[in-house]
C-alpha cells in the first residue's frame, strides 16, 4: 500500500439534492484526507481500504473551533470556504402564475 501524507479537511457541508431547506449545513465538518488507496478484494470483489481515519468526521459549531482542534492534535489542515448560494427570486413570484391579471395562458 502507498501511504499519502495525512492532512485534515475542514469545510461546511452543502445541502443534498434531497433537501429543500438548509438543515445540517450550518456546522463545520472536520475529516481526514485519504491516506491509502482503495483496493479490490480478490476473494469477494468488494472495494476495501485499510484507511480507518477516513471514517472519522467531527462536526464543530464554528470554523475557528475546528481549526483549533486540528492545531491541537498537530496535523496539517486545509480550509475549504463555502460558496454562498444565491436565492432565485422572480418578479411577481410564484403567486403570479395564478393571478387574475395574467395576460397569457399558463403553460409548463
Say if residue 38's pLDDT is above 50.
Answer: yes
Confidence (pTM)? 0.63
Task: Compute the average pLDDT of residues 53-65.
Answer: 89
E strand map for the chain: 8-11, 28-32, 39-40, 47-48, 57-60, 77-80
- Pairwise pLDDT comparison (36 vs 79), residue with the higher score: 79
Say if residue 13's pLDDT is above 70.
Answer: yes
Separation CA 82–CA 9 (nearest Å)? 13
When the pLDDT of each residue in the chain is averaged and rounded to a whole number, the result is: 81
Among residues 32, 28, 82, 31, which one has the least CA distance to residue 60?
Answer: 28
Task: Compute the average pLDDT of residues 41-66.
Answer: 87
pLDDT score at 3: 42
Amino acid at each position: 500500500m502507498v501511504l499519502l501524507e495525512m492532512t485534515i479537511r475542514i469545510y461546511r457541508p452543502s445541502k443534498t439534492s434531497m433537501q429543500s431547506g438548509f438543515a445540517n449545513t450550518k456546522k463545520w465538518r472536520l475529516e481526514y484526507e485519504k491516506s491509502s488507496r482503495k483496493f479490490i478484494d480478490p476473494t469477494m470483489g468488494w472495494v476495501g481500504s485499510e484507511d480507518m481515519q477516513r471514517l472519522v468526521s467531527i462536526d464543530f459549531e464554528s470554523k475557528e473551533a475546528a481549526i483549533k482542534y486540528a492545531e491541537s492534535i498537530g496535523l496539517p489542515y486545509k480550509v475549504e470556504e463555502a460558496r454562498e448560494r444565491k436565492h432565485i427570486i422572480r418578479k411577481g413570484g410564484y403567486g403570479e402564475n395564478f393571478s387574475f391579471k395574467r395576460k397569457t395562458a399558463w403553460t409548463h
